[in-house]
Each structure stands twice: as structure tokens, then as C-alpha cells.
Chain A
Amino acid sequence: MNRLFSSIERAIKNLRQNWLTSSITIGIISICLFLVGGYLFMTHNLQGVFETWKTQVRVTIYLRDGFQEEDILAFQDRLSSLSEVHSVTYTSKSKALEEFGVMLGNDRFLIDGLDRNPLPASLRITPRDPYRNLDGVKTILGAIGDDPLVQDIQYGQDWLDRLDRLFYVLDFGAVVLGLTLSLAAVFIISNTIKITVMARKDELEIMRFVGATESFIRLPFLVEGVIQGMAGAALSLGLLGGVHALLAGRSDQPLLKMLNIEALAFLPHSAIGAILLGGMVLGGLGSLASVGKHSR
């Protein structure tokens, strides 16, 4: 324990003595983590938009004319009992015409002279959450099977297909971008810390000559790296907080409106923890890697 305290003491002393290089290291760590955090911030907020889009996934079944209301309600019950289905809403022929009339507004007179209602009755299926995608909808269609009541089924196949591809690209992009940014951060951080280690290679050499163990030499560097990483992470979170406050204060922005984002959320606790921990680990590992190269 004494050794750890002594290492912390030496690390703090070293940080103060080499404040300029330490500040540069902290600055670079914060920029790297700001980029990673910015990406997390963006995807975290867009996640809500994606969820909203997913709730728009519907399957509409248009029904043939001439069937009794009881047949339709029985069919509705059968659909509702499917495990993939969240809810089924029935719209009768007359209701459909009424809604169409409301939609026409002042042009309602266009349908007033009709001798018969041309609109079909319909059942609108809202899938359960895991089935709100192209594959899920296809599963539901398979479960419906052939039924004499069904005249036509519409589910916006093109739109769903595009949404599926978008989710795939976003998921793939998240992995690729996350990995690339993390690797870049590790590379930049370890090289920055290497500069501070290089600047002190005489000290390392002398410590070895007077009989210091490798752990005695490395521990303060590890502590320094961890402190720098934590400071860099805290700084990056501060910057992200500033960006969040700036954007949140301008929620009338067209882009936010277009994406249907009412209130920008800051990073979740897990992401904040991950950035802090990531900074400490990156700083520590970067230090160790740099000191290790100058062993013996």
C-alpha cells in the first residue's frame, strides 16, 4: 500500500514537473474520447428516432366485400392471437369512407354522389417489437396464410426494405467506426505518452542503474497514464456536455424537427462510465507500452 501511495505521489510530482507534455497528452486523449463520445451521443439520440420509425411498421389487410361482420371479427381474433402480433384494428367500409371524406376536406362533395361505397374494409396489424422489420412482417404474412377474406395486403415493402438496410448499415457502421476511433485513440495516446517517456528516458536509465525493479519504475508511469486518461476523459465529457447544452437550447432546429427529436438526451450513465474507464485503461496501457519499450 505504501508503494502505491509513493507511486501516486511520484506520479503527481512528475505530472507537475512535466505539466506541458502532460497537458498535451490530456488534450489529445480528450479529443480522441470526444470523438468516440460524440459518436455515442449521436447514435444514442438517433436510437429514439429509429425506434419511432420502427413503430410505424404496419400490415394492412384489405378485405373482400360481401362477408358478414362476424366473419371479419373472427378473422381479427385469429390474427390478434398470433404471437407476432401486438394489436389488430378493424376499419369497416363505412368508417373507411368517413375517414376518406375527412381527408378530402372541402372536396368531400366528390364522394357524396357515389351510389355505392368503393372502399374496402381493412384490418391493420401492428407487429410486436421484434417483428417490426421485413423478416418479422414476412413471418406474420406466413402465419396469416391464404384466407378467402383477404383481397390484398400492403405493408410498404420498399420502405421496409430500405429501413432494414439502413439499420444494417448503421449497426455495421457503429462497429466499424467505433473500432476505428478506438484504435486511432490507442495509437495516438500511446504515441503521445511515448513522447513523455522518451523525455524521461535518462531517469528510467538511472533508476535501473541504481537497482530499481521494473515494477518500481513502471508503477508511477502507470498511475500517471491512468490520471492523464481520467483527466482527458473528464475533459471530453465536459466538452460533450457543452455541445449537448448548446444543441438542447436550440431544439427548434429544422434538423431536430425533421428527425422528430423533441429533447436531446445526454449520454447514458453506462456510456459515461465507459468513457471514463476507457480513458483510464487507454492511458494506463499507453504508458505501460511506452515504458516497456525502454526496458533494460
Chain B
Amino acid sequence: MIQLFHVNKLYQKDVPALQDLNLHVPKGDFVFITGSSGAGKSTLLKLLFAEEQPTTGQILVHGRNIARLPVSRIHTLRREIGIVFQDFKLLPNRNVFENVALALEVLGMPRREISRRVWLMLKRLGIHHKMRANPLTLSGGEQQRVAIARALVNEPIILLADEPTGGLDAEASQRIMDVFADVNARGTTVIVATHNLEIVRTMGRRVIRLEAGRLVTGGSP
């Protein structure tokens, strides 16, 4: 499903963000990427959704070499991937419903179908009663659930999350993880970058550990 072969990423000369990374994540897996700050967790995720290109090496996602993906085709990859960020990246000039609907609008889906799917997704995540609210009026946990709803509403085959519980309390963090477990149980591959070891231990899933851009453990299932 996701394979990395000898991937290197340099942001500046002689300062590697990732070094000779080899990785395999099968379809339907649930994986944590851990490591201290600057270990390369976020860089790895950025490579997977093609925000960054590897300096060398190959990355296969769903059989497609995204290291050679032209810029004009990146949107096709991102339509198969849901992305969740620590800072939620919600638009303050749109309400909850509109924020989630954005992911379907870009696909050119009919308005009625968008409404149906957004409603069902918000209901599934338990925030349907807030669908007319401005995201800034919600708690951190609620905002993150809106961001997850946006990431999942177009039914991606992979969900990437970069520090999704950062800034959330233990209860809200666990609730987010429960959502991810549920998504994974429905067949979506989930990759979560975090340094919250408590969550990692509680979930008991596969762990990929990075240190200074190098893989330490967990390269294969």
C-alpha cells in the first residue's frame, strides 16, 4: 500500500531531514510514527501527501510512484488521502458544515449529495448539532473532530494525522483516537505522527520510531 525505498530528504545542504528511509505500511494498517522534535515525523507525512518531494528515493502509494508525480496530478493523490493537522486548519469564514463540505466541493459533487454526506459524517463524529457554528467558537477537541470529518468525508483510503492530539486534554485525545480506530476498522489505513507516548501505549498499535531522520524501529509490519 505505502512503500518507501531509500528515501532521503534534504531541506538544506548537509542537513538531512530524512536519511535512507525504507518503510512498508500495508493496506488497512494503523501505524504511529514517533520520535522527538525534528526527528522527521512531519517531513515523512509531507512526503506521503506530496507537499514535499524526496531528494532521492522512491515512494509508492497505492502502486503509484509519487516521487515522480507531476504537480498537475497531485490533486489525484490528495483525493485518496485525508489529512489532519495539529492546528486543525479550519477556515474561520466558513461554518462547520461549510468547512467539511469543502472537501466534496472540490470534487464537483452535486450539492444535495454533499449535504447528505457532510451531515452523515458530522453525525458519525457527534458534532452534527454544531454544524452551523463558527469553528472558532468550538473547543479544541470539537475543532479536531471537524477537521477529521473534513479529512474523511470523501472516504479516503489513507488517513494521515500530524500531532492530532497536540494541545488536547487526555479525554479529548482518547476520543480522537477512538475515531481513528473506528475509521481503521472500516478499512482505512491510518498513519498518526505523535510524540504522545501515552496514547501510543494505550492504543497498542504498530510503532515506527524515527531519530534524527533515521528509522530506528518498525520499518516493516
A contacts, CB < 8 Å to B: 2-3, 6, 17, 202-203, 205-214, 216, 295-296
Q: How far is the CA of A17 from the CA of B106 in the complex (A)?
A: 20
The number of residues on chain B lying at the interface, defined by a beta carbon within 8 Å of a beta carbon of chain A, is: 22
Q: Are A296 and B106 in contact (CB under 8 A)?
A: no
Q: Are A296 and B71 in contact (CB under 8 A)?
A: yes
**Contact status of A206 and B78, CB under 8 A, knowing A3-B108, A17-B93, A296-B71:** no
**Contact status of A213 and B75, CB under 8 A, knowing A3-B108, A206-B102, A207-B106:** yes
* Shortest Cβ gap from B12 to chain A (Å): 20
Q: How far is the CA of A209 from the CA of B102 in the complex (A)?
A: 11
**6 nearest CB pairs, A to B:** A211-B79, A212-B106, A211-B78, A210-B103, A211-B75, A213-B75
Q: A203-B91, A211-B103, A216-B106 are in contact. List 20 more A-B contacts (CB 8 A).
A: A17-B93, A202-B89, A205-B89, A206-B102, A208-B74, A208-B75, A209-B51, A209-B78, A210-B79, A210-B83, A210-B102, A211-B75, A211-B78, A211-B79, A211-B107, A213-B75, A216-B108, A295-B71, A296-B51, A296-B71
* Shortest Cβ gap from A74 to chain B (Å): 81
Q: Are B75 and A212 in contact (CB under 8 A)?
A: yes
Q: Are A296 and B91 in contact (CB under 8 A)?
A: no
Residues of chain A lying within 8 A (CB to CB) of residue B71: 295-296
Q: Are A206 and B91 in contact (CB under 8 A)?
A: yes
Q: Are B106 and A213 in contact (CB under 8 A)?
A: yes
**Contact status of A209 and B74, CB under 8 A, knowing A3-B108, A216-B106:** no
- Return the chain A residue nearest B93 by Cβ: A17
* Shortest Cβ gap from B207 to chain A (Å): 26
Indicate which residue in B72, B76, B89, B105 contacts A209 across the interface (CB closer than 8 Å): B89
Residues of chain B lying within 8 A (CB to CB) of residue A208: 74-75, 78
Q: Are A209 and B49 in contact (CB under 8 A)?
A: yes
Q: How far is the CA of A48 from the CA of B107 in the complex (A)?
A: 58
Q: Does B209 sit at the interface, judged by CB under 8 A? A: no
Q: How far is the CA of A202 from the CA of B102 in the complex (A)?
A: 13
* Shortest Cβ gap from B169 to chain A (Å): 26
* Shortest Cβ gap from B107 to chain A (Å): 7
Q: Does B150 sit at the interface, judged by CB under 8 A? A: yes
Q: How far is the CA of A174 from the CA of B103 in the complex (A)?
A: 51
Q: In chain B between 131 and 189, which residues have their CB closer than 8 angstroms to a CB of chain A?
A: 150, 154
Question: What are 16 A-B contacts with C-beta separation under 8 Å?
Answer: A2-B108, A203-B91, A205-B89, A206-B89, A206-B91, A206-B102, A207-B102, A208-B75, A210-B83, A210-B103, A210-B154, A211-B77, A211-B78, A212-B75, A213-B75, A214-B75
* Shortest Cβ gap from B91 to chain A (Å): 6
Residues of chain B lying within 8 A (CB to CB) of residue A3: 108
* Shortest Cβ gap from A201 to chain B (Å): 11
Q: How far is the CA of A213 from the CA of B77 in the complex (A)?
A: 11
* Shortest Cβ gap from A278 to chain B (Å): 31
Residues of chain B lying within 8 A (CB to CB) of residue A296: 51, 71, 74
Q: How far is the CA of A59 from the CA of B85 in the complex (A)?
A: 85
Residues of chain A lying within 8 A (CB to CB) of residue B72: 214
Q: In chain B between 75 and 110, which residues have their CB closer than 8 angstroms to a CB of chain A?
A: 75-79, 83, 89, 91, 93, 102-103, 105-108
